[in-house]
Structure 1
Amino acid sequence: MPARRVRGDVPWSSALFQTVLACSLIGVMGVPLISPILPSLRSVFGISDAQIGLVITAYTLPGVFLTPFIGLISDRLGRRAVVLPLLTLFGLAGGGIALGPPFRGVLALRFVQGIGGSGLMVLAITLIGDFYAGERRNTVMGINGSAIGIGAAAYPLLGGVLAAVRWNVPFAFFGLSLVVGAIALFTLEEPAVDDPPAIGPYVSRVISVVLVPRALGLWAAAFLTFFLFYGCILTVLSLLLSDVYGLSSGQIGLLFGAVSIANASIASQYGRVSRYFEAEELIALGFVGFGISLLGVWAASTPVLIGVMLLCFGLGFGLVMPSLDTTVVGLVSGQLRASMMGVLTSMLWLGQTVGPIAFTGFAGVAFDEPVTGYRFLLLFWGVATLVSGGLAFLALDRRS
């Protein structure tokens, strides 16, 4: 099936469009839904801060290695043949944690759930690239990013509310993926793309594109974005808000919602913003937003001020992610699109995987008090991202 017409309007009534959004919302659910309850898991299982990071790492680790292969399989076997099993695996494994297994069982199920979640967002973005083109692609990509932001804003709030019933109730919510899978069985279309070449030439073409300097910069930006978000915000800041300010899971979820609300707001306007700046310039500006946010959180004296500064992180996120997605899907033809999105998503998952254990591990080893280490990391990465983002934007602006 050819790409949809290039007008910039949003196909709200399209069952395909709705299914793509649902897949994206499921794909982003795995961490934000449970991030507010991470501090309470310490008492539930009798574990340390470093072990808390494993709850996220076990989920994200499969995506580091699997997403390129999921993209490759999707390019060769079709989108439906991959999306439907992933939705099923995500729902069954995630919902199984609600049964209350021991901590090792939780980590094992999170690993299996991560296998299911690893390809959902990459395939949702790939489907947008398959079915839409021109200005409409940019608009739909922005709406998809906005939907992800709205979902990510709601998930911490929802997770905090569900955790007030019992710690494992948020995990039962992962079963919603099974419902989405049942709907996708009837609504998800299979795009028509050219037949991929033989596996040897196919892999060679993917590798040659992956190593292009422009692509390497995109992979680095993707890794750092999720390294900071999952390590510094969702893990470190969650522990700080609990230990220093005594906030509950629900209150932590409310503050984290600021990131996603700002993300959704700016991403929904991405189609308009992209008319005035190149994608690489928007990525650089997004990192400036990250730096301002992290420095503001470091300097903030109250949870309210922290929430305000998290809005800056969300604005940066809303610029970076659609820019990465639209740039990568435009690098290659439909034959390689899922594979390239798989590489991009692999970098995202690598950042998610390394971030939590790197931040909590460094703070625990290098400082007598982890809280002191967390504050140092906020300062260091705030300065680093602000300076690097600003210099990159100036360099790109001169080049244009």
Structure 2
Amino acid sequence: MSGLDNGIISTALTTINDSFNVSPSWGTWSVTIYTLGVAISVPVIGKLSDRFGRRRLFIMEIALFGIGSLMVALSPNFVFLLIARFVQAIGGGGIFIIGSSHILSTLPKEKQGKALGMLGGMHGLSAVIGPNLGAVILSVTGSWHWMFLINIPIAIFLIIFGFVKIGESKPGSEKPLDFMGTILLSFGILAVMYGITRLDSSAFLESLMELDITLFLIAGIILFVFLIIHERRVEEQGGDPILAFSLLRKRRFQMTLVLGLLSGGFLAGIIFIPSYVQQVMQVPVEQAGYWLTPLALASGIGAGAGGFLTDKYGAARTVIISGFIGVFGFSLFPLLSDGFLSFLIASILAGTGLGILLGAPLNVLVGESAEKGEQGSALGTLSLIRQIGLTLFPVIYAGFITGSFSKIEPAIENDFDHSLNASEGNYGNLIDSINQIDNSQLQLDILNAVIEILKTGFATMFTTAASLSLLVIICGLYVKRMNKLEL
């Protein structure tokens, strides 16, 4: 439910913007505010669940998410909707973290991988099927409000059965909560994430140099430096830091965070596949969902397989396996996917690699690094780093695609002596411009030329995603070597 939310709303962004009469740039804040809220909440909620008990925090998170969903559906204006989306994010951000930390703290080690794989499978599937599910709800109900109202009965069900079925974990430290650390962490996350969301995909390096963006990124980094200094002091004085300095010093945990960042880039590559299907393979929007179904199923199966492999062969080897599958999957997209069969093979491999990585191994690595009572906080930190990757890499990937759009107009003018409307990377305007050409043969030739140009942008994106998969392999080998040295 929480994982589906951003994917679902992306389908209805235009409809929501029109209903409140706001511009597309202002309207995207309904997604941005949710991303910021999740990023802020995951490490804080993870720590609170360690301190006060996971069932209590889980039920509170579900209740907040349900209340936020109702507020969104009943929003009288756009500002109220943004506030409601932030409430949703604070509720949704900790649900997955609490579930994962509950598994790590209650199940024996030999069963953790399978359970985490099942949980990760649901989370991975949600990111892939969210946009398609949103389209279904919108087409059946005709109203974007039902995308949020549907969460209410689910939340009520979860609250009731949370009380009945989930056992409460023992509260952790009774030491005072680290308020200063919480404030530094929250504002540091807010500054960095806000700066990243302001980056321009069409001019990435130029926007990185803009003062209003650079100031937020620098401020966030400075706040994180102060946070680390503060947490070290709190830990030395016997306090209970929001993020244990001793945990941050562990090489295994550091490598797990690097893998978390790479997994965000891994997932971002998957998110752009619907655009590839429509723009390069020329699959109509109404049929694109069917082409993505194998990928969604593969990610779910991969998550389950990742849990099995983690239990049997260990987290490090499972990470390496996911990297190899990801390299082959992403490399096949630009090389072979000219038809459904080759696309099917590439998407199954990419989805399987993603599912394996997002499922059990990273969470198990966190469990191996964190002391008892720190699992929630450590998992929250991992989730935050993944969220940063999931926010940063789409900007980079979109820059590759937008760059290919910028080459269309001059290429068509030189080769066909014809002008097209390819401004601002708007694919709809581009296709409308091509459809207005009277000569059917010229129309077909220009469309094929446009597809070839767009393919170069997507090829660069998939090559970058494959390179990230290669880095996943390297990190996995490093963790495996550390394990051998410890033995």
Alpha-carbon spacing, 1:372–1:51, altered in 2? closer, same or farther (3 Å): farther
Alignment partner, residue 368 of structure 2:
330
Q: How much has 1:337 moved relative to structure 2?
A: 1.5
Q: How much has 1:273 moved relative to structure 2?
A: 1.6
Q: Is the 8 A contact 1:89 1:116 kept in 2?
A: yes
Alpha-carbon spacing, 1:43–1:194, altered in 2? closer, same or farther (3 Å): closer
Equivalent AA in structure 1 for residue 385 of structure 2: M
Alpha-carbon spacing, 1:226–1:254, altered in 2? closer, same or farther (3 Å): farther
Alignment partner, residue 102 of structure 2:
127
Tell me how far apart the structure 2 counterparts of residues 294 and 47 of structure 1 sit (CA, whole Å): 35
Alignment partner, residue 347 of structure 2:
310
Aligned residue among 235, 254, 269 for 1:216: 254
Alignment partner, residue 387 of structure 1:
470
1:27 partner SS = coil
Confirm whether residue 254 of structure 1 aligns to residue 231 of structure 2: no
Tell me how far apart the structure 2 counterparts of residues 254 and 51 of structure 1 sit (CA, whole Å): 31
Alignment partner, residue 169 of structure 2:
191
Alpha-carbon spacing, 1:281–1:129, altered in 2? closer, same or farther (3 Å): same
Q: Is the 8 A contact 1:87 1:120 kept in 2?
A: yes
Confirm whether residue 350 of structure 1 aligns to residue 388 of structure 2: yes
Tell me how far apart the structure 2 counterparts of residues 218 and 272 of structure 1 sit (CA, whole Å): 19
The structure with more radius of gyration: 2
Q: Is the 8 A contact 2:262 2:389 kept in 1?
A: yes
Give the TM-score normalised by the residue count of structure 2.
Answer: 0.65
Confirm whether residue 269 of structure 1 aligns to residue 305 of structure 2: yes
Alpha-carbon spacing, 1:306–1:88, altered in 2? closer, same or farther (3 Å): farther
Q: How much has 1:67 moved relative to structure 2?
A: 1.5
Q: How much has 1:294 moved relative to structure 2?
A: 2.5
Aligned residue among 41, 49, 59 for 1:84: 59
Q: How much has 1:123 moved relative to structure 2?
A: 0.3
Give the TM-score normalised by the residue count of structure 1.
Answer: 0.78
Alignment partner, residue 461 of structure 2:
378
Equivalent AA in structure 2 for residue 336 of structure 1: E
Percent of counterpart pairs with the same letter? Answer: 19
Tell me how far apart the structure 2 counterparts of residues 309 and 346 of structure 1 sit (CA, whole Å): 29
Confirm whether residue 287 of structure 1 aligns to residue 319 of structure 2: no
Alpha-carbon spacing, 1:378–1:139, altered in 2? closer, same or farther (3 Å): same
Q: How much has 1:368 moved relative to structure 2?
A: 1.2
Cα-Cα RMSD: 3.5
Equivalent AA in structure 2 for residue 385 of structure 1: L
Matches within 5 A, 1:61-210: 61-99=36-74, 106-149=81-124, 155-165=130-140, 166=142, 168=144, 169-175=146-152, 176-192=154-170, 194-195=172-173, 197=175, 199=177, 200=234, 201-203=239-241, 206-210=244-248
Equivalent AA in structure 2 for residue 260 of structure 1: A
Which structure is richer in relative contact order (CA contacts within 8 A, separation 6 or more)?
A: 1
Tell me how far apart the structure 2 counterparts of residues 341 and 214 of structure 1 sit (CA, whole Å): 14
Tell me how far apart the structure 2 counterparts of residues 115 and 398 of structure 1 sit (CA, whole Å): 38
- Runs of 5+ consecutive residues of structure 2 not aligned to the other structure: 178-233, 408-424, 426-453
Q: Is the 8 A contact 2:266 2:465 kept in 1?
A: no
State the Cα deviation string for residues 253-275 of structure 1 (Å, max 9, x = none).
Answer: 33343333112223323453225
Q: Is the 8 A contact 1:284 1:390 kept in 2?
A: yes
Q: Is the 8 A contact 2:270 2:351 kept in 1?
A: no
| Number of aligned positions between the proteins | 372
Deviates more, 1:100-109 or 1:270-279: 100-109
Q: Is the 8 A contact 1:94 1:172 kept in 2?
A: yes
Alpha-carbon spacing, 1:319–1:383, altered in 2? closer, same or farther (3 Å): closer
Q: How much has 1:222 moved relative to structure 2?
A: 1.1
Deviates more, 1:125-134 or 1:181-190: 181-190
Tell me how far apart the structure 1 counterparts of residues 15 and 362 of structure 2 sit (CA, whole Å): 35
State the Cα deviation string for residues 125-172 of structure 1 (Å, max 9, x = none).
Answer: 011122211212233222323444555666454333212233614333
- Runs of 5+ consecutive residues of structure 1 not aligned to the other structure: 1-25
Alignment partner, residue 430 of structure 2:
none
Deviates more, 1:358-367 or 1:205-214: 358-367
Tell me how far apart the structure 2 counterparts of residues 357 and 105 of structure 1 sit (CA, whole Å): 27
